């Protein structure tokens, strides 16, 4: 969506192609330099940053819509994607926005009953992606994008800070039942990497030895005969996930602590 023609068509006729009143807002998690990050877009004409959301096509299955929206923004397919909550309580999402406000911000002429101005619920999804493989597409509405450390998320549009909070919370709870990491880390990774990842998600320190013991005891990771030289005094061993056990743990679910 880059030409003015396309944008005008979307704004004025989009409701024929998309379902009104419902959007999908993905929280995209990536991991880089020992930090858990999320991908945010800067919307043109608006102050804040926001999630890379989108709408559902009228005959498109919901999960397919979520995948499509993610792919449009990040050029990634086959990522880990999971629905976690519907947001429909915030006053921002109830009071319809005015056409005037829209005109001022986007410089687009819209009627008062335009579909984009009406109340819209948001279905929250979170995605776990390999940071290094993401390439972001910007379009007419977005002027910039940036990865933000989850500890330093800026004020977001509407109630989207709440969306991010809840995504983190869900991730944190889920890690007690299912392994996480396959989608966030490169194929080969070091113990310190996955160790810090888990600490970051859980927001607490985990004993180095016990953590490694646990993952190996569960059969989730295996040591490779390679090391990676990453600077002074540092050449940790590489590990990779044991796909079979990992998949099984994902599906069956487990209950344990770290």
CB of 65 to a copy of itself, least distance (A): 8
In terms of Cβ atoms closer than 10 Å to its own Cβ (0-12, 13-18, 19+), residue 26 is buried
Alpha helices, H only, the chain: 4-17, 62-74, 99-106, 160-174, 191-202, 208-217, 243-252
List the single partner that 88 binds among DNA, a copy of itself, none, CB under 5 to 8 Å by kind. Answer: a copy of itself
Nearer to DNA, 88 or 236 (CB): 236
Q: Is 145 in the site for DNA (CB under 7 A)?
A: no
Name 20's Cβ contacts closer than 8 Å, sequence gap at least 6: 115, 118, 120
Select from DNA, a copy of itself, none the partner in contact with residue 22, using the beta carbon and a kind-dependent cut-off of 5 to 8 Å.
a copy of itself
Q: Looking at beta carbons only, is 112 or 237 nearer to DNA? A: 237
Q: Minimal distance in Å, beta carbon 219 to a copy of itself?
A: 20
CA nearest to 38, candidates 179, 139, 134, 159: 134
Distances in Å between the alpha carbon of 128 and those of 85, 113, 185, 203, 239?
Answer: 16, 37, 9, 18, 19
Site for DNA in 230-249 (CB under 7 A): 231-237
Binding flag, residue 176, DNA (CB under 7 A): no
204 binds DNA (CB under 7 A): no
> What value does the CA radius of gyration of the chain take, rounded to a whole number of Å?
21
Which one of residues 13, 63, 210, 227 is an interface residue with a copy of itself (CB under 8 A)?
Answer: 63
Question: Site for DNA (CB under 7 A): which residue of 58, 119, 151, 213?
Answer: 213
Q: Which of 2, 146, 222, 227 binds DNA (CB under 7 A)?
A: 227
Q: Binding partner of residue 177 among a copy of itself, DNA, none, CB under 5 to 8 Å per kind?
A: a copy of itself
Which does residue 58 bind out of DNA, a copy of itself, none, counting CB within 5 to 8 angstroms by kind? a copy of itself
Secondary structure, 3-state, 145-201: EEEEEHHHCCCECCCHHHHHHHHHHHHHHHCCCCCCCCCCCCCCEEHHHHHHHHHHH
DSSP 8-state code for residue 252? H
Cβ distance to a copy of itself smaller for residue 48 or 88: 88
Residue 155: which of a copy of itself, DNA, none does it interact with, CB under 5 to 8 A by kind?
Answer: none
Q: Does 95 bind DNA (CB under 7 A)?
A: no
First vs last C-alpha separation in the chain: 45
Q: Which residues bind a copy of itself (CB under 8 A)?
A: 19-22, 56, 58-65, 83, 85-89, 94-95, 119, 121, 123, 173, 176-177, 253, 255-257
């Amino acid at each position: 969506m880059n030409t003015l023609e396309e944008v005008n068509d979307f704004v004025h006729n989009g409701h024929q192609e998309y379902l009104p009143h419902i959007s999908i807002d993905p929280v995209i998690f990536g991991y880089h330099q020992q930090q858990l990050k999320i991908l945010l877009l800067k919307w043109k004409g608006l102050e804040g940053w926001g999630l890379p959301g989108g709408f559902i096509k009228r005959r498109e299955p919901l999960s397919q819509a979520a995948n499509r929206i993610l792919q449009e923004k990040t050029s990634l397919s086959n990522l880990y994607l999971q629905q976690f909550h519907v947001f429909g309580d915030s006053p921002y999402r109830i009071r319809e926005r005015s056409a005037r406000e829209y005109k001022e911000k986007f410089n687009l002429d819209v009627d008062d009953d335009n579909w984009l101005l009406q109340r819209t619920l948001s279905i929250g999804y979170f995605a776990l992606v390999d940071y290094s493989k993401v390439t972001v597409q910007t379009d007419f509405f977005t002027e910039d994008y940036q990865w933000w450390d989850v500890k330093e998320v800026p004020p977001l549009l509407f109630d989207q800070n709440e969306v991010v909070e809840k995504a983190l919370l869900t991730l944190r709870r889920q890690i007690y039942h299912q392994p996480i990491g396959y989608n966030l880390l490169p194929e080969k990774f070091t113990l310190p990497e996955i160790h810090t990842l888990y600490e970051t998600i859980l927001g607490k320190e985990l004993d180095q030895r016990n953590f490694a013991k646990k993952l190996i005891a569960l059969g989730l990771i295996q040591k490779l005969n390679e090391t990676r030289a990453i600077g002074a005094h540092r050449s940790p061993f590489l590990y990779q996930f044991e796909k079979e056990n990992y998949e099984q743990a994902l599906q069956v679910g487990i209950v344990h602590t770290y």
